[in-house]
Every structure is written in structure tokens, then in C-alpha cells.
Amino acid sequence: EIVLTQSPATLSLSPGDRATLSCRASQNFGSHLAWYQQKPGQAPRLLIDDASNRATGIPARFSGSVSGTDFTLTISSLEPEDFAVYYCQQRNSWPLTFGGGTKVEMK
């Protein structure tokens, strides 16, 4: 099973700040990773697929990258609606697994 470790658990930032979220995989599996955003009381929303491809309708301030087993989600300039919990997910092998999440909260 591929284990995904997200860090930090919580990120305290202000609107306009740059957010950098990390997701480290227990083994190398290429770029088969997705990022999701979840707000309280809502279902998750797909942001990024295949490590760096923005999903339909996702603003350009969201970007993803990969280097080996280290995946990064970057929000270039936080908008008020971006404060939420973010999850990574690998789809390379069964069982599919999610990271534990990073909460981006307002400082």
C-alpha cells in the first residue's frame, strides 16, 4: 500500500499569501496523483489531476508539481475562499489512498 504523508497538518496564512502544501509518497509511482479541496459540510472538489493538470474550472492560482516522491500543491495568492482542507490521493495502485490532509486556515 502506498502511504501519502501530507505536511504541514495546518498552515496559518493571510489572504494574498503564497501557500505551499506537501504530499510525500512512500514509493515512487510517477505522476498519478490528484489534489482535492474540501470545505466544511461540503464534498471534496478535484483541483489537480496527474500531479500538475488543473481540473476544469480551477483557477490558475492553483498549481501542482512533482519531484520523485514529493508532490507539491501551490496556491500563488490566497483568496478568502481558498481556506479549506486539502487532500492528495494516489491512483497508481490498489488500494487507492489519500493523505491525511492539510488545513489552510486564516491567520
Partner 1 sequence: EVQLLESGGGLEQPGGSLRLSCAASGFTFNNYAMNWVRQAPGKGLDWVSTISGDGINTFYADSVKGRFTISRDNSKNTLYMEMDSLRVEDTAVYYCARRTISWGGFDVWGQGTLVTVSS
Residues in touch with partner 1 (CB under 8 A): 32, 34, 36, 38, 43-46, 48-50, 55-56, 87, 89, 91, 94-101
Q: How far is the CB of 11 from partner 1 (least distance, A)?
A: 16
**Measured distance CA(53)–CA(63) in Å, rounded:** 8
Spatial strand order of the sheet with 62-67 comes to 4-7, 19-25, 70-75, 62-67
**Measured distance CA(35)–CA(89) in Å, rounded:** 6
Q: What are phi and psi of 57, to 5 degrees?
A: 85, 0
**Cβ proximity to partner 1, 17 vs 74, nearer residue:** 74
Q: How far is the CB of 45 from partner 1 (least distance, A)?
A: 7
**Cβ proximity to partner 1, 83 vs 102, nearer residue:** 102
Nearest to 55 by CA among 66, 42, 44, 40: 44
**Cβ proximity to partner 1, 43 vs 60, nearer residue:** 43
**Cβ proximity to partner 1, 22 vs 101, nearer residue:** 101
Q: How far is the CB of 40 from partner 1 (least distance, A)?
A: 11
